[in-house]
Amino acid sequence: MKNMFKVFLTIVILGVAIITGIALAEYYGKLEVPELRSQSMEYGSEDDRIESTELYEIRTKYYVAENEFVRASVREFIDNAISEFKRENVTPEKLRDKERAVLLQVIDTYSVNDNLVSIKITSMIKKTFEEEYTTTVDTFNYDLTQNKEIKLEDIFKREYKSKIEEQYSDKYNLRKNDIVFYNNTTESTCTYNNLKEYTNSKILTASNLSISDEEYNTLISNLIDKNKKMIAITFDDGPHKTNTQQILNILSKYNAKATFFMLGQNVEYYPNVVKEVANQGHEIGIHTWSHPQLTKLSESEIAKEINNTAQAIKNITGVEPWLVRPPYGALNSTVKSVVPNPFILWNIDSLDWKSRDKEQIVPLVLNDVQDGDIILLHDIHSTTVPAVEEIVKYLYDNDYQIITVSQMLEAKGYDTTTTRVFYSGRQ
């Protein structure tokens, strides 16, 4: 009798187990798990990771980057995300209620070029059967030459970084011809136009990103904060074979942009310096060919001084300069009638050409500095270089946007398409 009871009990237990198993199978079968597809067929080798229990299912699909630093960084992110997912979803309550959670991750790895790799991680989480999937996007961009993650502040100047974060997010992917910003899962794609005006050009130079002439302004049209102080630093009479590069290094250090009014004869002597000024996103203006006083020249001589200089600059940079600074600030009706460009003078004169002394130059510039000032300096004098370091650092520390003349005048609402004389951005 006892043996028959044991057999009966065993059959009952097996029956319950089978029924329970069928029920769980039906429940899990109803839990739709989307097919995971990675878009990064061009880079790395495919790898899948699947972990399944009665409480959760985790599926990860990604292309493993060949670079060990990138591979380790991505795996660390994945491991941390999985650990957090388990902490939130592997609980006694979940087990009791038979609520099965799902984590799906797709890691897309894009090869921008030989030096840059960009990664997009899409995560989809479903905590209960009734819930819809919640999708989030995380991004990483790596400089393979330095085994370093590229942050937003490494690319965009300080004053633009915060505006980008407000309008878009700090999640972005570099691509071959554009940048993709993510606001949750919404994408904003912008190609590279005038990118050098707003970025750290060293990143661009290192990465060999192609610069198109199309539509990057859709991203950065409002990135200069019109409610913040701004100032334009200008340099005359260059370029100089060594001083100009030293000044470029200082400007780069503080994410500053300047306007260089160049002499045509020096442009001809130092084309590589001219190219570097342009490559770093600074503005180049016309300061005549040989520094004559234009008011003493004939109309044809004036035109020749301006046009030859403009052509020499364009031949090197591919961009025709528009702003003109007349030597000595000398203007009259004849000069204005011959030259259709805007004339950029100044309201702060450093007198660096006269004193050749940093201790005199710096206070002369900074004592009465204000929003909208145009500062006159000369990159042909070696004594100006250390003064530039102190001036730029002070302006940077005091929250000035150090930008080009054109940027400042445009932000202040001035029309620079016609002949007009500007002394500052407070006209």
- The pLDDT-based confidence of 190 (bands split at 50, 70, 90) is low
**What is the rounded CA–CA span in Å between residue 47 and residue 74?**
13
Query: What's the pLDDT tens digit per position in 152-178?
Result: 777 766 556 666 666 666 788 887 767
Q: Which tops the pLDDT comparison, 93 or 101?
A: 101
Cα–Cα distance measured from residue 35 to residue 352, given in angstroms and rounded to the nearest whole number: 68
Neighbours of 161 (CB within 10 A): 19
Quote the pTM value: 0.55
Helix (H, G, I), strand (E, B) or coil at 300: helix
Given a contact cutoff of 8 angstroms between Cβ atoms, the answer to whether 132 and 32 are in contact is no
224-271 confidence digits (pLDDT tens): 778 889 999 999 999 999 999 999 999 988 889 999 999 999 999 999
Question: In 279-386, where do the E strands start and end?
Answer: 283-286, 343-344, 348-349, 374-378
Least confident of 77-81, 158-162, 188-192, 207-211: 207-211
Copy the structure tokens of residue 252.
């780069």
Is residue 312 a contact partner of residue 304, using CB atoms and an 8 Å limit?
no
Burial of 238 (0-12, 13-18, 19+ CB in 10 A): buried
Query: H-helix or E-strand containing 158?
Result: helix 158-167
Classify 62 as helix, strand or coil.
strand
Four-point Cα dihedral 332, 337, 340, 343, nearest 10? 10
Return the higher-pLDDT residue of 326 and 187. Answer: 326
Domain boundaries in the chain?
A: 45-143, 153-220, 230-422
Q: What are the tokens at 100?
A: 């099965």
Domain 45-143 CATH assignment equals 3.30.565.40: yes
Cβ-proximal residues to 233 (8 Å cutoff; 6+ apart), any chain: 256, 258, 259, 375, 377, 388, 391, 392, 402
| 138: DSSP letter | E
Which CATH superfamily hosts domain 230-422? Glycoside hydrolase/deacetylase (3.20.20.370)
Residue 165: what pLDDT?
A: 66
Residues 6+ apart with CB under 8 A from 162: none
Distance CA 193, CA 254 (A): 22
> In sequence order, what are the residues at sequence separation of 6 or more whose Cβ sits closer than 8 angstroms to the Cβ of residue 16?
none
Burial of 50 (0-12, 13-18, 19+ CB in 10 A): exposed
Average pLDDT, the chain: 80
Both tokens of 422, joined, read 């500007």
Distances, alpha carbon 393 to alpha carbons 16, 249, 254, 341, 353, in Å? 77, 13, 7, 32, 21
Which residues are catalytic, by number?
A: 236, 378
Residue 362 pLDDT greater than 50, yes or no: yes
Token pair listed for 352: 């660096």
Predicted confidence at residue 172, as pLDDT, reads 84
What are 51's strand-pairing partners? 58
**Angstrom distances, CA of residue 248 to CA of 9, 108, 150, 270, 336:** 87, 37, 22, 15, 32
Cα 77 to chain centroid, rounded: 23
Q: Is 95 left (phi over 0), alpha (psi -120 to 50) or beta?
A: alpha
336, two tokens: 């204005």
Q: Please give the Cα distance from 56 to 103 (Å, whole number).
A: 8
